[in-house]
Structures are given as structure tokens and as C-alpha cells.
């Protein structure tokens, strides 16, 4: 019996491992810089946070093994440019491009390439097709406009089928691209309804039932589209814009948020499923979830009470951690670091004294000029009462050792490394991402979170939190160019004359 149980457990383990979506992504960026990072983002989710962040070497080469939540289309960013890439578990994808030519908006693909070739060829065809559309289409008679939409859809779906056949693209990607087309046509029809009356001098124009029926056909499975396409969420909100604005004007509160107003507005709308409402509320909440939000706890409770879908809730929880950091009063994550000599340093060693932690990496080179001078002022002011810990999240320990010396030379505090960088256990527990570097968090003497996550020491609450845990009042924190320079020493004229005579 025990042997049988062991076999079952081993089988379950093998199945669970095989379900992991592992992708090897590599390539070369001509003109690439180690100071730039490649990020991959799942834009379909509520959180839209990076699932991968990796760098290029001095020659522009890169390679990483990443875990993806599902097979699908992801946003790829590098150097301020954006592109899309299809990733599938178990594949090896090699990308190459030129930073001067806008990589990753433009790239060539090798290895497991059929899906990305389909994606690129389809997008090229779509761009060329729509570039030929006449601008006066908004002024067309509604019946003719609907016929045009149907022709667009028929032509493009036919071409996608041809490209799918020639490239061997996966059926789920082909369906994704066709559904994306439907969303774009919906948005186009929405613009027609919004603008047709204005540009034709017919202010009383309203969409006919025929156009509404065709929009319904384009919507198809609305719950599926709202989950997959942020552009569909944007389209849905655009259809509510004027009505919601009128509601907000009548029901505004001095201390209310847009999210609270929208929740009250949409909760009684019977034409929308609960899932649609959940995604729309989360979409609106993105405008209120920012580091300066005065009452973030109230906002998060409001969202938790009104959103029902567990996936949407989980996404918002990720955003909450990314924006605000870990909850104040909770125990700081228990993790191990290594110092410059390779010695293990547990986070429990910080206990006994309040601690200011700074997370940073070598690809934040500007901190040497703009952050470190302020950091030295802060450490000098609070060092008798506060521990200072600087945690590097570079990709490897060798880079950490170089960076710790180069960037933080002369700055008092522990210089530590989180093994694995942004893939480390520490980064996951602290909800740390590339866009949050450098960032700061304050712990109390018992190792509990004593502040929200700060992106800058210039934030007003930063000094307040540091003063509170330290028990002292530190100096005003100002950027280097604004720091008051000491006045020159008074000139002793008698001494000058005496020295002059001696010479």
C-alpha cells in the first residue's frame, strides 16, 4: 500500500512539473547596453506587472529561462520601445534586433518561431490594410459603414487563415488574433457612433438597432474578451463615459475616489455580468492605486468587498504590494543574504535596532549622483539609532561585489546581495520589480514593517517614518543640488596681512 501511495505521489509530482510553463528566451540586441533591461509583461491580467526582467551583456547578448502563467501574447520592452511576442511553454525562442531600429518593436525570430512569424506577418498585413482606409469612413451612411466593417472582418480573417496555414501557427494564437480584431472593430464602431453626428452635422444621430446587433456579434463571449483584452475594457468604459460623468457630477463627495463612485454607479447595471463589472472596477481602480493615495487601506477594502472574482482579487493584491509595499505592522520576510565576502547573513540579524533597507542594482547608475549623496546625509544623521542595509539585486554575485564598491563607497551600512536578484526569494516576498529600483523600506527594532515602500527619500512620509522609528528628528532631506552649502569661513584680515609680510 505504501509503495502504491509513493507511485501516486511521484506521478502527481511529475504532472505538476510538466504543467509549468518554462520558456528559454535568448538573442542579441545590436547596440544594446547593460544599463537597459528587457522586461516581459502579461498585459491581459489585472496586475500587468513584469513576469521577467533580464539584461544584456556588453555585446548585447541575452539569455534567460522564465516561467510564464500561460501560453500567449506578451508585451516585450527594452530601452523605451515595446513589441509583442508569443511565448509557449517548453519552447526555445531566439530574438535578434537593433536598438537603433526600435527593438523590440522590430525583431527577427529563430528557434521555435512559427507563432511569432505568424504574429509578425499578420500585424504587417493589418497595418498595410488599414493604412489604405479612407479617412471619410466616419461620414459614411450607417448601412454602408456596417458593410465596410463586415468586409474588413471577412478580408482579414481570410488572410489570417492563409497565414496560419503557411506558418503552422497554433490555433489558440490564430483565435486570439481574430478576437483582437473584433475588439478593434468594436472600438472603431464606437468611434463612429461618437463622431458621426458631429462630423455630418446631425447632432441627433443615434446608432440603429442594426449597428447594435453587429456590435453584439463582434462582442461574442463578453466574459472571455473582458478577461483577455485590456483594450476591450477600455472600449467598455468608453461606452459608459458620458453617462458615468453625469452620474459623478450629481453624486461627487469631497473625500471620495473615482473607484468608489464607479462602484456605486455600476453595481445596479443589469446588462453587465459580475465578471465584467469586476474587471471594469479593477480597470478604474488603477487610477486611484498610486503611492500618494491618502487612504489606501480604505480603497483596498472597498475593492475586496465589491469584487467577487478570485482571479481579479489576486491581481489587485499583487498591485497593492507592488505599489504600497508590505503591510505595516507585519513581520518582515525571513530571508538570507550574502555579504561581499560570501558569508550568509540572515534577515533576523537586523533585529534589535530599526533598519532602513535600500534595494538597488548596477543598472540604476544615476543613484550614484542623485541618491548616494542624500543617503550619506541620512546615514550620518541617523546612524546612532538606525541600521542601514543596502541590498543589491543584480543578476549575479560578481556584479554585486563591483557595484557595492563602486556605488556605495564611503557610505556606512551593510552591503548585501539577494542571490538570484529579481528572481530571488527576497524579491518575490517583498514584491520587488525593476521599476521599483531604487526603493526603500523601514523596519522597526523587532523586524516588523514600519513604513510603506518608498521610491524616493524625498517623499514627505519618508523622513516622518524614519524619525518615528529612530526617536530623533533628523535634518531636512534635499537633493544634492538643493542642499545648503556651508558658508565660507570668515576671513581674518590681520592674519592675511601677517602671512603676506612673512612671504
Tell me, yes or no, whether 346 lies in a domain: yes
State the CATH number of the domain containing residue 34. 2.60.40.1120
Q: Identify whether 402 is preceded by a cis peptide bond (ω within 30 of 0).
A: no
Instruction: Give me the pLDDT at residue 409, please.
Output: 86
Distance CA 458, CA 476 (A): 9
Cell numbers found for residue 146: 456596417
Q: Identify whether the C-beta of residue 77 lies closer than 8 Å to the C-beta of residue 86.
A: no
Question: DSSP secondary structure string, 94-157?
Answer: EEEEEGGGTTTSS-EEEES-HHHHHHHHHHHHHHHHHHTS-GGGGGS-HHHHHHHHHHHHHHHH
Look at residue 385 and tell me whether its pLDDT is greater than 90: yes
Distance CA 312, CA 220 (A): 21
Look at the chain and report how many structural domains it folds into.
2
Look at residue 495 and tell me whether its pLDDT is greater than 60: no
Tell me, yes or no, whether 54 lies in a domain: yes
What HEC string does 192-249 produce?
A: HHHHHHHHCCCCCCCCCHHHHHHHHHHHCCHHHHHHHCHHHHHHHHHHHHHHHHHHHH
Instruction: Give me the pLDDT at residue 134, please.
Output: 81
Tell me, yes or no, whether 26 lies in a domain: yes
Average pLDDT rounded to a whole number, residues 241-262: 90
Average pLDDT rounded to a whole number, residues 338-347: 95
Side by side, which strands form the sheet with 61-67? 61-67, 22-30, 92-98, 108-111
pLDDT in tens, 130-185: 998 887 899 999 999 999 999 999 999 999 999 999 999 999 999 999 999 999 99
Binning pLDDT at 50, 70 and 90, where does residue 481 land? low
The residue from 56, 81, 112 where one domain ends is 112
Q: Identify whether the C-beta of residue 326 lies closer than 8 Å to the C-beta of residue 430.
A: yes
Distance CA 54, CA 73 (A): 18
Domain assignment of residue 48, given as a range: 20-112
Tell me, yes or no, whether 411 lies in a domain: yes
Estimate to the nearest angstrom the gap between the alpha carbon of 374 and the chain centroid: 27
Tell me, yes or no, whether 444 lies in a domain: yes
The residue from 82, 112, 142 where one domain ends is 112
Neighbours of 229 (CB within 10 A): 20
The residue from 112, 134, 150 where one domain ends is 112
Q: Identify whether 403 is preceded by a cis peptide bond (ω within 30 of 0).
A: no
Distance CA 65, CA 51 (A): 11
pLDDT in tens, 262-310: 999 999 999 999 999 999 999 999 889 888 777 888 999 999 999 999 9
Look at residue 365 and tell me whether its pLDDT is greater than 80: no
Which pTM does this prediction carry? 0.86
Distance CA 417, CA 340 (A): 8
Look at residue 203 and tell me whether its pLDDT is greater than 60: yes
Tell me, yes or no, whether 319 lies in a domain: no
Tell me, yes or no, whether 228 lies in a domain: no
Tell me, yes or no, whether 81 lies in a domain: yes
State the CATH number of the domain containing residue 474. 3.40.30.10
Amino acid at each position: 500500500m505504501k509503495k502504491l501511495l509513493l507511485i501516486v505521489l511521484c506521478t502527481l509530482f511529475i504532472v505538476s512539473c510538466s504543467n509549468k510553463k518554462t520558456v528559454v528566451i535568448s538573442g542579441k540586441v545590436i547596440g544594446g547596453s547593460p544599463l537597459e533591461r528587457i522586461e516581459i509583461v502579461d498585459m491581459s491580467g489585472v496586475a500587468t506587472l513584469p513576469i521577467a526582467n533580464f539584461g544584456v551583456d556588453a555585446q548585447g547578448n541575452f539569455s534567460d529561462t522564465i516561467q510564464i502563467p500561460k501560453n500567449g501574447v506578451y508585451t516585450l520592452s527594452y530601452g523605451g520601445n515595446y513589441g509583442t511576442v508569443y511565448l509557449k511553454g517548453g519552447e526555445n525562442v531566439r530574438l535578434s534586433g537593433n536598438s537603433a531600429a526600435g527593438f523590440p518593436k522590430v525583431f527577427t525570430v529563430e528557434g521555435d518561431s512559427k507563432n511569432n512569424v505568424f504574429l509578425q506577418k499578420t500585424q504587417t498585413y493589418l497595418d498595410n490594410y488599414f493604412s489604405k482606409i479612407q479617412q471619410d469612413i466616419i461620414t459614411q451612411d450607417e448601412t454602408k459603414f456596417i458593410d465596410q466593417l463586415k468586409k474588413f472582418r471577412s478580408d482579414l480573417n481570410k488572410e489570417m487563415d492563409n497565414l496560419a496555414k503557411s506558418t503552422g501557427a497554433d490555433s489558440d494564437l490564430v483565435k486570439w488574433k481574430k478576437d483582437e480584431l473584433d475588439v478593434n472593430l468594436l472600438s472603431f464602431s464606437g468611434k463612429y457612433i461618437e463622431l458621426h453626428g458631429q462630423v455630418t452635422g446631425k447632432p441627433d444621430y443615434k446608432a440603429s438597432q442594426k449597428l447594435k446587433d453587429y456590435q453584439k456579434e463582434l462582442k461574442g463571449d463578453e466574459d472571455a474578451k473582458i478577461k483577455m483584452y485590456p483594450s476591450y475594457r477600455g472600449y467598455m468604459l468608453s461606452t459608459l463615459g458620458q453617462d458615468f460623468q453625469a452620474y459623478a457630477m450629481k453624486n461627487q463627495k469631497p473625500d471620495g475616489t473615482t473607484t468608489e463612485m464607479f462602484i456605486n454607479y455600476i453595481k445596479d447595471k443589469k446588462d453587465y455580468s459580475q465578471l465584467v463589472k469586476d474587471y471594469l472596477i479593477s480597470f478604474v481602480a488603477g487610477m486611484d492605486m498610486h503611492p500618494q493615495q491618502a487612504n489606501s487601506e480604505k480603497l483596498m477594502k472597498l475593492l475586496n468587498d465589491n469584487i467577487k472574482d478570485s482571479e481579479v482579487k489576486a491581481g489587485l493584491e499583487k498591485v497593492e504590494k507592488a505599489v504600497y509595499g508590505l503591510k505595516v505592522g507585519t513581520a518582515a520576510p525571513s530571508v538570507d543574504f550574502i555579504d561581499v565576502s560570501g558569508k550568509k547573513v540572515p534577515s533576523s540579524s537586523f533585529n534589535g535596532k530599526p533598519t532602513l533597507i535600500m534595494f538597488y542594482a548596477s543598472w540604476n547608475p544615476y543613484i550614484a549622483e542623485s541618491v548616494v549623496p542624500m543617503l550619506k546625509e541620512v546615514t550620518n544623521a541617523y546612524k546612532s539609532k538606525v541600521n542601514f542595509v543596502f541590498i543589491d539585486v543584480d543578476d549575479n554575485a560578481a556584479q554585486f561585489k563591483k557595484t557595492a564598491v563602486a556605488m556605495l563607497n564611503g557610505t556606512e551600512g551593510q552591503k548585501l546581495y539577494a542571490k538570484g536578484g529579481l528572481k530571488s526569494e527576497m524579491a518575490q516576498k517583498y514584491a520587488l520589480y525593476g521599476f521599483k529600483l531604487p526603493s526603500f523600506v523601514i523596519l522597526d527594532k523587532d523586524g516588523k514593517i514600519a513604513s510603506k515602500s518608498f521610491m524616493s527619500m524625498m517623499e514627505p512620509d519618508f523622513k516622518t517614518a524614519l524619525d518615528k522609528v529612530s526617536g530623533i528628528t533628523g535634518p531636512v532631506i534635499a537633493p544634492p543640488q538643493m542642499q545648503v552649502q556651508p558658508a565660507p569661513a570668515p576671513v581674518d584680515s590681520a592674519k592675511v596681512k601677517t602671512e603676506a609680510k612673512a612671504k
